[in-house]
Chains A and B, each alone.
Chain A
Amino acid sequence: MNTLIKKKRTRELILIWFFLAPSLAIFALYRIIPLIWNGVLSFQFWDPFKPTEFAGLYHYEEMLIYDDVFWQSLWNTSVLMASAPIGIGLALIIALMVDTRIRGRGVYRTIVFLSYPVMTVAVGIIWQWLFNEKVGLINYVLMSLGIIDEGIPFLESFSLAFPSVIVASIWQVLGFYMIILLTGLQNIPQSLYEAAAIDGAGAWKRFIRITFPMLKPSIFLCFVVGIINSFTNFDLVYVMTQGGPSHVTELLITYIYRAAFTLSKFDYAAAMTVVNFLFFVTLAWLANRLFGGDAGAVDEGT
């Protein structure tokens, strides 16, 4: 009897790893190996035309001690990440509203989602215009309503540029969060709600006791995506402000890209990539712990 179970278990293990293999292979090729490449590079003086030299901690020293742009961009990235709950919260509210039986929910769903597939270039250009100090729509509306006298230079102001970029970023990604949350909402069996209704539970209690806990994996996913968005929001920042003025909208990823391809300092960019990675992996690990350790999976037997 024991050998039979063992055989079944081995068969199952083979199946599991067989299923994981293709994805793992792709990640190994296109994420892990490049990460290692960056890691190795970060300890060298690298040049496409000359032989490489060992650099030790030179780049890390430069980055952590002398480079205030690095710290500024790390801070900005963290702020963008911290703003993710706003977007997720909004998306959750919208998802809940759209998940009901109201007429036209398909239309609402589509409209909210519309922002996501638009090419980021168009998004960036339009939001640039919306925020324009002299001719932008937002200022036009604010001035017409008499709320302000003079246009606000959103993207040229050191204090308002970043929040403006965050607003555009939330607009763009709202549809994405909504879709993930909608999928999660579909996973909640109606029977649970019906049982709770029979027990006389009100809407709020139903939300707290049923919806929210069962949405944990989806919310976890949104958080992780929010973290990732904060450092891959490259395209939007690049088009809207190019990291300016004076680095107030600089994200670590835009700085890494510029260091690599504009300043041709691939080794320095590699060092920053390593630090970026370590920072966010730690955050992801903490998030995973916070959500229960199994990528936010719901406990069995609920």
Chain B
Amino acid sequence: MRSTITTTVAAVAFAVAAVLGTSPVQAEKKISFLAWNIPHFKAGAEKWMKQFKAKYPDVTIEWLDKKGSEWSTYYQTQVVAGTAPDIVDVQGGLWLEYASKGGLLDLTPYLKADQASYTSELYPEFLSSWVYEGKNYGVPFYISKTLLFYNQAMFKKAGLSGPPKTFDDLLAYAGKLSGGEKSGFMTLNFDWLYWSLMAMNGVEMFTPDLKKAAFNTPAAVAAVEKLAAATKSGAINKISWTGRWVKPNNAFAAGTIGMLQAHSPAFMWMKAKGPWMNKDTVGVAQMPGNWSTPNSHALLISKSTKYPKIAWEFAKMATSGGGAYDLGSSLNVLTGSKVANKKLMAYFEKNIPDAVSVMKTQTEHLDKLVGNWPVAKDAAVKEAFYPELQNALLGRKSAKEALDAAEKKVNRVLSRR
């Protein structure tokens, strides 16, 4: 018995020692890059890493990629463990939380220093989406914003000649286009992508100081009532308010939706599923009033990075000139660089002519961008607001009740810690 115990203890100790081991000391500098769901860009990423290695031979780039739904879990676990990735590719409002808590590097001085060689190349409107309390934390990685897609065949059948120009037209057309398994209108709803519907009715989310809710107005109540009625009648497909990505896009690709509000990546995704889709069968337009919600990605740098200057150099390479062009031509998106976009439009005209009109909308009307408020508690506000909106749109509560409840909740979120 005793010998068994001794051998066991010895074995365990040996195993533990072997497992713990000693890691080799790294003489190289390591920068990690956490991408957001672009696994098929691997080849492009390797090109970037080679280019960068040529310039900075003692730097290795570690390329990580996580899907959106796990991205924040992975990132925050790394932050808590003290090993936050140096450069992160974010979508939506997640970054606001980290910026407000001081977890991100303020890029304003870097942007100023490189004004002529780099910053001037970017769209100021997209760059300013990443400003929080006067400090700029991110540079645009790739851009997109919502637009209106419409099924030309369904339009013709319903006797409609062109896209709707007003909110009421939109609802009227939706009514005409629906019937049977077909719906007139659908929208994506994550990251505030539906907000143009509210903006075109003059609804503001917050007061100018971003401290209180400002959306509970008679105009908003009226708009929500109309949307709820259209949803009830089936003119607006209910998945608009409950789906995320696959359901709504799949439905349009299946040819059963008259109009879809989505952003440019949606078009590329749908085209693969619905081979009938091309520039003649799918109409492209701005939403009434030219309102749109951007859903761009940006590169941000963690404050805990050991090599901020090197990270900055890499970020610049990825978001301008040839680097940005590599990204855009691989993912079929436009970037935040005016220079790269010019080349990309030529690329699209040559290789994906069906997408050209879609891409054109992405850089138009940049003065009518809504839905990206620099509020630290963006996620909590969404959590407080959207379920109540769902209640109204899906007929569980009246519009007034729902907006009242939403206002109370949002104000509470904004005032509590």
Interface positions of A (Cβ within 8 A of B): 11, 45, 47-50, 58, 62, 66, 69, 125, 128, 132-135, 151, 153, 155-158, 238, 241-242, 244-247, 258, 260-265
Contact = CB atoms under 8 A, between A and B. Distances in A.
Contact of A153 (B69, B97, B238): B238
- Interface of A, secondary structure class, is loop
Nearest to B389: A246
Contacts of A158: 394, 396
A135 B237 CA distance: 12
A261 to B, nearest CB: 4
Contact of A263 (B241, B247, B379, B416): B379
A48 B76 contact: yes
Nearest to B73: A261
Contact of A134 (B80, B237, B388): B237
Interface string B375-393: 0000110010001101100
A260 B246 CA distance: 25
B241 A245 contact: yes
B322 interface: no
B363 interface: no
B180 to A, nearest CB: 9
Contacts, number: 81
A19 B89 CA distance: 48
Contacts of A246: 387-388, 390-391, 394, 396
Contacts of A242: 244
B58 interface: no
A155 B237 contact: no
A185 B156 CA distance: 65
8 contacts: A48-B80, A48-B101, A128-B247, A135-B181, A153-B238, A244-B390, A246-B387, A263-B380
Given A158-B396, A261-B73, A262-B379, A47 B181 contact: no
A249 to B, nearest CB: 10
B160 interface: no
B103 A49 contact: yes
A33 B221 CA distance: 49
Residue of B76, B79, B388 most packed against chain A (CB within 10 A): B76
A261 B76 contact: yes
B246 A135 contact: no
Contacts of B102: 49-50
Contact of B242 (A47, A62, A155, A262): A155
